[in-house]
Structure 1
Amino acid sequence: MADNSTQSIDDHLEKQHFIRVCNAFKFYRTHSHRRINDSEISYRALPEHHQEMVPDFLENLENIRTCVDHNYEIIKLILQDAEYMFENQTQETIHDSVEDVKKTFPTSADMDKVRTTLKQFVRDWSPLGQQERDACYRPVIEEITHRFPIDLCERSSVKVLIPGAGLGRLALEFAKLGFTCQGNEWSLFMLLGSNFILNKCREENSLTLYPWVHQWCNNKYTEDQIRQAQLPDINPAGIPEDSNFSMAAGDFLEVYREPEEWDCVATVFFLDTARNVIAYVETIWKILQPGGYWVNLGPLLYHYAEMADEHSIELSYEQVKKVIIKTGFLFEKEEMDIKSSYTQSADSMFQYQYNSVFFVVRKPL
């Protein structure tokens, strides 16, 4: 009885979380318009001669409103049939009662995640994201294709896992190359986005998004804030019919417990999503087959550091490397200071760049 009660509580919490995430997307337009209205109020509070110096200010705010409204049209497509996204259950978000909505009202952090998801579409699925993909994805793809050359192995028999797959582009690239590949993602924001782009978008450059419309600071030109991005840059369905490609939802540590199941694990901007990075290292060791490879690229911006009511350990890369070696891995390649960024507008006056680490380690036979 206790187990059933616990499961019932877990199911309820999961549903509430799902509803809150959907509500955050639904609240996007209203939340964004409030910010625009605040700018209009501030402008109208200026002395009249100051207003006359920037006469196009209100016109630009109207352009921003239009871009927000257009983004919201894409959000509505993302949410369409969202309750059927998971095969094992229906969340019934469309029929929530008023009380459910009140209990699951989105937080400011939720709204930040909605905006981040929109920018992630650029990183993964727009020509504007090509530079970031080349810096972060290409070294990993080239390394794994080098380790498993098509003339020496049947790639469909090589199983590649991508934890923290985001909107699924890196995982799809491996599937296009013939590997059996699975992406794993925990964030419902990303899962809703990946479900939309992978399963519902079938024409190149068929969607227009305004990802920087929320960037109020560090704009060189007025037009930078309303610069558009076309997506997807490729047809996500354009992979061989016999491709073995999937996305799995859930916490990496809970979903992947089967020992020696994967030939390769590729982590890009993932290690620092851990509360306990040592647990990530041990799990990767466990699920890799003997002789398997772990390829990593990214920084160590620990996501739970300084977060209230969250336990987190923050190790230096030196410490992480010692953990990897003590776990049993053999280093085969290591490069420091890989210049990389994450959902960065190339036109912004403020640029945030990581000196990422890139390594390849092998689980010995």
Structure 2
Amino acid sequence: MAEKEWEGVFDPMADPDEQRHLLSVLDSFRSYRRLAHFNGTHVRRQAFYSLPQEHWTLLSKPPFSILDTFSKLDDLIDGNAELAEAIFKAGFQAFLAPTLDSEWVASIVPENYMHDEYQIYSIILDHMNVKTSQNDMEKARGCINQFYREWSVEGHAERSKCFEPVVAALETEFTLRREVQSALDRSAMHILVPGAGLGRLVFDVCRAGFNVEGNEISYHELMASALVLNHVQKAGQFRIAPFALGCSNHISRADQFQTVQIPDIHPGTILGVADGSNVPASTRMSMATGDFCVLYSQAEYKNAFDAVATVFFIDTAPNIIRYIEAVRNCLMLGGLWVNLGPLLWHHAPLRDDEDEKDEKRRKTAKVADAGIGDPGSVELTHEEVVALIEHFGFTMEKQEYAAFETGYMTNPRSMLQSNYRPAFWVARKTKNVN
């Protein structure tokens, strides 16, 4: 990846609320081990021993051996925690370390910890009065599990259904352009991937030879993607058990405790191989942090990209018009918008007890663009989304609906299967609409 891991328009340490959120995210990864052991095994052991004695005695023996199950789960939690703590260190180095005073750090870190990065960062965090939210702790757990989908051999079936059609559409567009410009290099096509997540689609687009910028607002995802794209030393460096902490709907304990090695490939090695572009991959891939609506609606991004690729993204919009306007602004005339995903709208109408928060966002919006935090939300059908996109100057060149089914971080061995039938469409910006 590019030497500068993140680009963007804001400094998270400059705003007190943003700083508190960043520290909460860092602590959510640091706390993964402790909280997973507490919720995953300690609480379950207590519940187990609350059973009638003859019952827990029976279940302690083969073929059940529930106590052995708890011990195995503890071991798997430690494996997951190694990844979580690596993300914590990568995130700390990127976001917090550059802002610290070295003399202050030396004054609070005991000399015997000076060569232990994790201990140094942990001590610093302890001195910053961090309050970690429940939401951030849940997101850290989900982020660890998401590596299964994006960076394991076993997750290939899920991600290939969603990523390969998008990359193929970009390949087709390049072929068409090369018929007009025979000397066109792949790196001349600039692709934006909003909602980049753990960075696999960004990586795959770069691997295909294109110039690609990922965008992500979640610190959890940014820290995790930075680790895998910039800091892992080899394929299979970590072993995680993505389904171990969920104890329902398993056929066998082997299904619950299955492990996967991540990443499935070493990104640095793969991007060092010739890929059909004249420009090195290390200079063709970057990640921008910030709100998609705010960042890509700015004048500096006007007509900046040849294509925008969105996968499982547009339904994260409270107001999809903001997303469409941002795509329209940053996409050049004649550029392509490639989209794949369902419409599981993430923002339901506000409850009464959220009115006060809504009013605060309204006041904020009067003095600054709140982006995804703008008040209001709307949930549209697929047909309505298509009509809206066409209204804003796009022409649909391809549409497919329910052509295939896919899960999203789904355990294929589980008794419970949740599948999407996503829409896939390709739209071209054919006119500018005021």
Distance in 1, Cα, partners of 2:81 & 2:43: 20
Report the Cα distance in structure 1 between the residues aligned to 2:52 and 2:303, rounded to whole angstroms: 69
**1:279 counterpart residue number:** 322
Q: C-alpha distance in 2, partners of 1:34/1:272? A: 34
Aligned to 1:180: 211
Cα distance in 2, alignment partners of residues 352 and 184 from structure 1:
27
The CA deviation at 1:90 is 3.0
Does residue 360 of structure 1 match 2:423? no
CA contact (8 A) 1:83 1:90 kept: no
In structure 1, the residue matched to 2:348 is 305
Give the whole-Å Cα distance in 1 for the aligned partners of 2:406 and 2:336: 22
2: CA distance between counterparts of 1:145 and 1:296?
15
Match of 1:49 among 45, 49, 54: 54
User: In structure 2, how many angstroms separate the alpha carbons of the residues matched to 1:195 and 1:71?
Assistant: 17
Give yes or no for the alignment of 1:75 onto 2:100. no
Q: Which residue pairs with 2:74 in the alignment?
A: 65
The letter of the residue matching 2:401 is M
Counterpart check, 1:295 vs 2:335: no
- 1:133 CA displacement: 1.0
The structure in which a higher percent of residues are helix is 2
Give 1:17 deviation, angstroms: 0.8
Change (3 A) 1:13 1:221: same
Question: 21, 24, 33: which one pairs with 1:20?
Answer: 24
Deviations 1:2-41 (A, max 9, x none): xxxxx99962222111100011112212211222111111
Report SS of the residue matched to 1:345. Answer: coil
Call closer, same or farther: CA 1:175–1:351 in 2, change over 3 Å. Answer: same
Aligned CA distance change for structure 1 residues 87 and 264 (closer, same or farther; 3 Å): farther
Change (3 A) 1:31 1:116: same
Report the CA distance shift for 1:349/1:90 in structure 2 as closer, same or farther (over 3 A).
farther
Q: Counterpart of 2:310?
A: 267
Q: Any conservation in 2 of the 1:18–1:91 contact (CA below 8 Å)?
A: no
Counterpart amino acid of residue 278 in structure 1: I
SS at match of 1:21: helix
- Kindly provide the amino acid, as one letter, of the partner of residue 83 in structure 2: I
Residues 54-109 of structure 1, C-alpha deviations (whole Å, 9 max, x = no match):
220011011111111221122221122423314995378656465743xx422222
Q: 1:250 to 1:89 in 2, by over 3 A?
A: farther
Counterpart in the other structure of 2:287? 247
SS at match of 2:415: coil
2:45 aligns to what? 40
Offset of residue 159 of structure 1: 0.2
Task: Check the 8 A contact 1:205/1:232 in 2, yes or no.
Answer: yes
SS in 2 for 1:344: coil
Pairing 1:115-264 to 2, within 5 Å after superposition:
115-149=141-175, 152=179, 153-237=184-268, 238-240=270-272, 242-243=280-281, 244-256=284-296, 257=298, 258-264=301-307
Q: Retained in 1: the 8 A contact 2:90–2:223?
A: no
Paired position in structure 1 for 2:392: 327
Give the 5 Å matches for 1:77-96. Answer: 77-86=86-95, 90=99, 94=122, 96=124
Please tell me the residue identity of whatever aligns with 2:48.
Answer: Y
358 and 15 in structure 1: CA distance in 2 versus 1, 3 angstrom threshold = same
After superposition, the C-alpha distances for 1:240-286 in whole angstroms (9 at most, x for unaligned) are 47121111111111221221110000000000111211110111011
Counterpart of 1:137 in 2: which secondary structure? helix
- 1:270–1:81 distance in 2 versus 1, CA, 3 Å: closer
Q: Which residue of 2 aligns with 1:342?
A: 408
Query: C-alpha distance in 1, partners of 2:98/2:305?
Result: 27
Q: Secondary structure at the match of 1:347?
A: coil
Give the direction of change, closer, same or farther, for the CA distance of 1:91–1:325 in structure 2 (3 Å limit): farther
Question: What secondary structure sits across from 1:362 in the alignment?
Answer: strand
Consecutive unaligned residues of structure 2, counting only runs of 5 or more, are 1-10, 102-120, 273-278, 359-375
- Once residues 341 and 40 of structure 1 are traced to their aligned partners in structure 2, the CA distance between those partners, rounded to angstroms, is 32
Work out the CA distance in 1 between the residues paired with 2:172 and 2:128: 51
**Which amino acid in structure 1 is aligned with residue 318 of structure 2?**
R
In structure 2, the residue corresponding to 1:128 is in which secondary structure? coil
Structure 1, gaps ≥5 residues long = 1-6
Fraction of identical pairs, as percent: 33
Using a 3 Å threshold, how does the CA distance of structure 1 residues 169 and 91 change in structure 2: closer, same or farther?
farther
Residue 200 of structure 1, CA deviation: 0.7
Root-mean-square deviation over aligned CA pairs: 2.3
Equivalent pair of 1:336/1:357 in contact (CA under 8 Å): yes
Per-residue CA deviation, residues 104-157 of structure 1 (Å, 9 max, x unaligned), is 422222122111101111111100110111111111111111111296431110
Change (3 A) 1:292 1:349: same
Task: Provide the C-alpha distance between the structure 1 equivalents of 2:77 and 2:318, rounded to a whole number of angstroms.
Answer: 34
| CA distance 1:86–1:159, shift in 2 (3 Å) | farther
